[in-house]
Amino acid sequence: MPVDPVTGESLPYAGDPGAPAGAPPMPPGGPEMPPPGAEGPPMEGADQAQAQMEQIAAQAPAPEGEGFSVKVIQQIADELNQFASEAMGDGIVPEITFEAEGSKWPNPLPANIFVPMVALSELAGQMGAEKHKFDPMEINNDGALRKAAAQIRKMRNDSDFMEQITAEPEAEGEMEEAPPEPGELTEEDEELMAAM
pLDDT in tens, 109-138: 999 999 999 988 888 888 888 888 889 999
Say whether pTM exceeds 0.75: no
When pLDDT is averaged across residues 94-106 and rounded to a whole number, the result is: 89
Amino acid at position 161, single letter: F
Report which of residues 4 and 29 the model is more confident about: 4
Of 63, 145, 57, 156, nearest in space to 105 by CA: 63
Q: What is the pLDDT of residue 58?
A: 86
Interval 159-181: pLDDT, tens: 888 888 877 655 444 445 566 66
pLDDT in tens, 36-87: 444 445 456 667 777 888 888 888 888 998 999 999 999 999 999 999 888 8
20-37: per-residue pLDDT in tens?
Answer: 666 666 665 555 544 444
Type of residue at 187: E
